[in-house]
Amino acid sequence: MAEASFTPECYLELLPEGDRDPPQKRVKLESDPIAELGGATEDEEFWFDDNTVILVAGQVKFCVYKEVLASQSEVFKDLFSLPQPPQLSTGDTHEAEDRRRPIVHLYDSPESIRHVLRVCMPPFPQKDFFVATAREPSFEEISACIHIGHKYQMTNLYEQSIAYLKRYYTDNFLEWEQLDTCTPAGFTRTDAIGVVNLARSTGELSILPAALLACTALRGDLVRGFLREDGSRERLSADDLERCVGAIAKIVGTTLAGRLRTLIRKPSPDCTMHHRCKDGLRDLVSGLELRMSRARDPHMRIEDLYEEDERKLCKRCWDLTVKRDLGRRRSFWRHLPELLDVDLEVQAWGTMSTIMM
């Protein structure tokens, strides 16, 4: 494969859509990066005098190892190889030291760059970014790694970040079943809104149904969204907001109807206490009203819905009820994209590998 060349015009591809300037203005911007460097402050976390490149994002400059970034990104490798503009001396010793290093202006938030540097720079692992860490990553960290990883072709970082989301926002029924919570440990519940937007922006639509399902449980926060660390507010698009609002009643109705069908069935054919178990099933139906907030959660298992002393059924009847509830959850999962009105977008959903046990 021929080595990629990176001309100054290629900077256009790294700019946000609304920030792409006419060529004559862009040339002026790229011709004198030193002029803007003086107004940027050194990052407290990533400024090391012995490092080899300066990255400028917003009003923050980072001094890091260019070899580490170049080894993970062909885009960074090419950016670092671009010739630097002529440098005029100002007599400032500290500024002169900066001028000896390549300077690259990035059109990204300093918060995003800092998150990426935290997982890419030594001594952090570079093969398993989110496995060997002692803490769970936040949504802000995962979001930054996905956006920067995609933009600068940091394939390993991007793929690991997407894989992390897929552990929780899965398209696999068996994996969904094993989750204690659908919210990653380092996330908040409202971060599901951001996950939906990531699914849209990256085209990773397999995470979309589970993320939209999480959004339907947000109540007022569904409309308000949440505040990002850079001060912006993350919200669903109008179309996805409409989908979630329209799906709430359908999801609750489907879940409660499924629970009723599970409990109004006849006792097990092998039951030796038919009348007692029939009354026990009726009591479980009556008890739904007392635990409605949990009963409407489609992920909630019947074993977790009722305490042991409330299960006035023989072992055979209880085991059969548990099996029927598993069937309810499997049926719900199969129809989830349809309930959320994304069945045409997520056409591989409901394949044998994702729903069968």
For residue 105, the surrounding DSSP H or E stretch is: strand 103-106
- Res 193: pLDDT: 98
- Res 28: pLDDT: 31
- Res 40: pLDDT: 84
Task: Collect all residues with Cβ–Cβ distance below 8 Å to 173 and sequence separation of at least 6.
Answer: 329, 330, 333, 354, 355, 356, 357
Interhelix angle 155-168/139-151, nearest 10 degrees: 140
Per-residue CA distances from 28 to 7, 8, 280 (Å): 15, 11, 79
The three-state secondary structure class of 7 is coil
Which residues of the chain fall below pLDDT 70? 1-38, 84-100, 123-135, 350-357
Two tokens at 141? 């960290």
For residue 23, the surrounding DSSP H or E stretch is: helix 23-31
**What pTM value is reported for the model?**
0.82
Number of other CB atoms surrounding residue 49 within 10 Å: 7
Strand 53-57 to strand 233-234: parallel, antiparallel, or no bridges (unpaired)?
Answer: unpaired
Strand 103-106 to strand 53-57: parallel, antiparallel, or no bridges (unpaired)?
Answer: parallel
Task: Collect all residues with Cβ–Cβ distance below 8 Å to 57 and sequence separation of at least 6.
Answer: 105, 106, 107, 108, 109, 110, 112, 113
159/1 Cα distance (integer angstroms):
22
Name the H helices within 82-232: 93-99, 110-120, 139-151, 155-168, 173-178, 191-202, 208-215, 221-224
Task: Collect all residues with Cβ–Cβ distance below 8 Å to 267 and sequence separation of at least 6.
Answer: 274, 277, 278, 281, 313, 314, 317, 320
- Res 86: pLDDT: 59
Residues of the chain by 3-state class (helix, strand, coil), percent to 5: 55, 5, 35
Task: Collect all residues with Cβ–Cβ distance below 8 Å to 97 and sequence separation of at least 6.
Answer: 49
For residue 26, the surrounding DSSP H or E stretch is: helix 23-31
Rounded to 5°, the CA angle 156-162-163 comes to: 85
- Report DSSP state, residue 207: G
Confirm if 148 and 100 have CB atoms less than 8 A apart.
no
Number of other CB atoms surrounding residue 219 within 10 Å: 10
